């Protein structure tokens, strides 16, 4: 019997059968850069503004752009293209670091990004990245980190474990760090209700902060600032539909939970990160100029209509616009 956290780790990242090792692109869900290249362009413009702030205190030398969870390099290529086209001065100082634990994706990402002529290095984990000045950014990484799962049973908050047959079993907590979240949920979690605790995401953020000498950590993901006592149930996605069965057919579906940005802000503060901004993806993209992309896609043909629909999905309240958030945290020297 293993914790749900360990089950989720294996179901997502097993090197032979894990979901992210066998995933068909866009089969179960779309990421924002897969939806439209405008996402990467707007993000690149914001990264450029942040890099310019760092450059004021570091007028010479390399500035790093570190993408954690880079996948096959789709977003990194969008950013590199925009920097070369619109911010050539900064691009001449930028060195990319790509982080991806799925090795075949990392190999593809490095090959694709190398074509832009910018320096590129690759790592399989954030702990391997040398200290740097610049920006570490991620898109839909934190929701893909394994979570511990709590459940209420007969007035007690226990942890969910998974046996060899895939059956869920509730038992005492496996880690002392779960005691505080369990106590916080004791009065509000209904019998049988489940609550995901993202210890992994908080630890990852602290590790990432230790690599940044000066700069920013920018995280884009779906979630919110959870109020104390608010349940955060995990979900499974398959063929663009939500499923409630989490332990059946490991590796066949995406397992995820909303990111608790309140916990991340707290973990960041403990690691020396100040809160720069926290906002919805729609606000971030609109202020970054996405409406100009929509206007440029004007036309009555079906191709123009499809392009506008994709762009609007990025900012629509029922699409990604309000469900996804953008958190920027700052580390000063």
The predicted-structure confidence for 57-99, as pLDDT tens digits, reads as follows 999 999 999 999 999 999 999 999 999 999 999 999 999 999 9
Whether residue 30 has pLDDT greater than 90: no
- Residue 249 included in any domain: no
Is position 87 within any domain?
A: yes
Q: Are 106 and 98 in contact (CB under 8 A)?
A: yes
Predicted confidence (pLDDT) at residue 251 exceeds the cutoff of 90: no
- Cα–Cα distance between 302 and 308 in angstroms, integer? 10
- Is residue 239 one of the residues assigned to a domain? no
Is residue 2 a part of any domain in this protein?
no
- Residue 278's alpha-carbon distances to 217, 222, 252, in angstroms, are 12, 12, 33
Q: Helix, strand or coil for residue 105?
A: helix
Would 185 be classed as within a structural domain? Answer: no
pLDDT of residue 59: 94
Q: Decide if 217 contacts 205 (C-beta within 8 A).
A: yes
Cβ pair 127, 116 in contact under 8 A: no
Residue 249 is predicted with a pLDDT of 83
DSSP class of 114: H
7 within some domain? no
Q: Nearest 5°: phi and psi at 214?
A: -155, 130
Domain count across the chain: 1
Per-residue model confidence as pLDDT tens digits over 143-196: 999 999 999 998 899 999 999 888 999 999 999 999 999 999 999 999 989 999
CATH code (residue 53) = 3.40.50.12710
**Domain assignment of residue 326, given as a range:** 24-145+198-228+257-331
Identify whether 163 is part of a domain: no
Residue 8 in any domain: the answer is no
Task: Give the range among 91-95, 165-169, 219-223, 241-245 with minimum mean pLDDT.
Answer: 241-245
At residue 237, the pLDDT reads 82
The pLDDT of residue 33:
95
């Amino acid at each position: 019997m293993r914790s749900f956290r360990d089950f989720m780790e294996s179901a997502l990242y097993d090197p032979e059968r894990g979901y992210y090792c066998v995933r068909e692109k866009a089969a179960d869900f779309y990421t924002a850069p897969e939806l439209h290249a405008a996402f990467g362009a707007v993000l690149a413009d914001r990264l450029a503004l942040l890099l310019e702030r760092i450059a004021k205190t570091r007028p010479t030398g390399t500035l790093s752009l570190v993408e954690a969870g880079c996948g096959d390099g789709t977003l990194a290529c969008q950013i590199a293209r925009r920097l070369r086209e619109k911010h050539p001065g900064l691009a001449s100082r930028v060195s990319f670091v790509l982080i991806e634990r799925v090795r075949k994706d990392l190999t593809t990402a490095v090959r694709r990004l190398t074509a832009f002529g910018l320096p590129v290095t690759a790592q399989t984990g954030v702990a391997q990245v040398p200290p740097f000045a610049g920006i570490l950014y991620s898109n839909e990484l934190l929701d893909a980190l394994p979570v511990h799962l709590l459940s209420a049973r007969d007035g007690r908050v226990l942890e969910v474990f998974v046996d060899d047959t895939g059956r869920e079993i509730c038992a005492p907590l496996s880690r002392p760090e779960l005691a505080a979240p369990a106590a916080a949920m004791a009065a509000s979690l209904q019998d049988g209700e489940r609550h995901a605790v993202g210890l992994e995401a908080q630890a990852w953020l602290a590790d990432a902060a230790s690599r940044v000498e000066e700069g920013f950590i920018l995280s884009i993901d779906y979630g919110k600032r959870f109020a104390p006592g608010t349940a955060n149930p995990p979900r499974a996605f398959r063929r663009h539909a939500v499923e409630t069965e989490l332990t059946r057919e490991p590796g066949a579906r995406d397992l995820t939970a909303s990111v608790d940005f309140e916990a991340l802000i707290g973990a960041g503060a403990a690691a020396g990160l100040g809160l720069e901004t926290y906002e919805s993806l729609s606000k971030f993209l609109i202020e970054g100029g996405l409406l100009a992309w929509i206007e440029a896609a004007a036309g009555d043909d079906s191709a123009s209509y499809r392009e506008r629909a994709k762009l609007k999905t990025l900012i629509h309240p029922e699409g990604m616009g309000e469900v996804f958030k953008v958190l920027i945290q700052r580390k000063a020297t």
